[in-house]
């Protein structure tokens, strides 16, 4: 009798785990639009923070939703994403990943234009990286 309860309990836990996994895989992608901005900063200042003291900048910015202002240095098509790089210094910039479906059809991303982008900071790897971005003009 006790053995049946153990097998039933394990089966129930496996079923719950499977349902949770399916939910996580199939849930729609969310961008930073609905999240509250924790700071507004220029591309040059943000890159400078990481360049001066990466560990302190990681604690300050990683995982936070921020709005970055800067000039577009490059735009690259990367599958379902558009990668926009904001110029900060001659050594690097801010790399922003924007899901194509989150771009307004009227948005023109032209090199040299000033732009505001809101996204979640994931850290520094040659450039400062923002994900789940949206364009805020």
Report the pLDDT value the prediction gives residue 36, as an integer from 0 to 100: 87
Question: pLDDT tens digits, residue range 30-69?
Answer: 777 788 889 999 999 999 999 999 999 999 999 999 999 9
Q: Which two tokens stand for residue 75?
A: 């735009």
Mean pLDDT in residue range 112-128: 91
User: What residue ranges do the domains of the chain occupy?
Assistant: 32-136
| Higher per-residue pLDDT: 77 or 33 | 77
Q: What percent of the chain has pLDDT over 90?
A: 47
Report the pLDDT value the prediction gives residue 29, as an integer from 0 to 100: 67
Report the pLDDT value the prediction gives residue 26, as an integer from 0 to 100: 76
Residues 117, 129: contact at Cβ < 8 Å?
no
- Could you tell me how many residues make up the chain? 137
Q: Is CATH 2.40.50.140 correct for 32-136?
A: yes
Neighbours of 73 (CB within 10 A): 18
Residues 67, 100: contact at Cβ < 8 Å?
no
CA dist., res. 114 & res. 128, Å (int): 18
Q: What is the DSSP string of the chain?
A: -HHHHHHHHHHHHHHHHHHHHHHHHHSPP--GGGSPP-EEEEHHHHHHHHHH-HHHHHHHHTT-EEEEEEEEEEEEEETTEEEEEEE-SSS-EEEEEEEGGGS-TT----TT-EEEEEEEEEEEESEEEEEEEEEE-
Report the pLDDT value the prediction gives residue 116, as an integer from 0 to 100: 93
Report phi then psi at 105, rounded to 5. -60, -25
């Amino acid at each position: 009798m006790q053995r049946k309860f153990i097998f039933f309990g394990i089966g129930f836990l496996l079923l719950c785990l499977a349902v949770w996994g399916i939910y996580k895989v199939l849930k729609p992608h969310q961008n930073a639009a609905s999240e509250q901005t924790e700071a507004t900063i220029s591309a040059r200042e943000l890159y400078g923070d990481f360049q001066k003291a990466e560990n302190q900048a990681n604690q300050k910015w990683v995982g936070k939703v921020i709005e970055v202002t800067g000039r577009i240095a490059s735009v690259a098509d990367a599958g379902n994403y558009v990668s926009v790089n904001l110029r900060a210094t001659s050594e690097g910039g801010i790399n922003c990943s924007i899901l194509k479906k989150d771009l307004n059809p009227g948005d023109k991303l032209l090199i040299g234009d000033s732009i505001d982008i809101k996204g979640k900071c994931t850290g520094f790897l040659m450039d400062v990286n923002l994900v789940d971005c949206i364009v805020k003009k």
